[in-house]
Amino acid sequence: MPSFKTLCSTTTDEFYEKDRGTNYAQRDTCATTCSNKGCCGTSTGRFHVNCKEDPTGYATLQELLGRKDMPSFSAIGAYVLKLRFR
């Protein structure tokens, strides 16, 4: 599973062509957390405003999630990948 720092710095081609399943799982973990925290509506605008200083969006993501320790947050993604649907 890629780290969020790696995921934020991928190109569109890298995201979709290299390990697309795990990239989506990691992205969905982040989106679900943002939704639960109520920051989805403001996230797109925040990424746009901060794009010059934070071109990958990684620092903005940390700010939105209220987390500096992203490796521990990434562990949630590993848990999600273990889930099986019936």
Q: Which residue has the higher pLDDT, 11 or 64?
A: 11
pLDDT higher than 80, residue 23: yes
What percentage of residues in the chain have a pLDDT greater than 90?
Answer: 1
**How far is it, in rounded angstroms, from Cα 26 to Cα 8?**
10
Q: DSSP label at 26?
A: H
State which amino acid sits at residue 47.
F
For residue 44, the model assigns a pLDDT of 67
49 band by pLDDT with thresholds 50, 70 and 90: confident
| Cβ partners under 8 Å of residue 85, min gap 6 | none
Helix (H) or strand (E) holding 50: helix 40-50
For residue 81, the model assigns a pLDDT of 62
The pLDDT of 24-32, averaged and rounded, is: 77
CB crowding 12-26: b at 16 or more within 10 Å, else e: eeeeeeebeeebebb
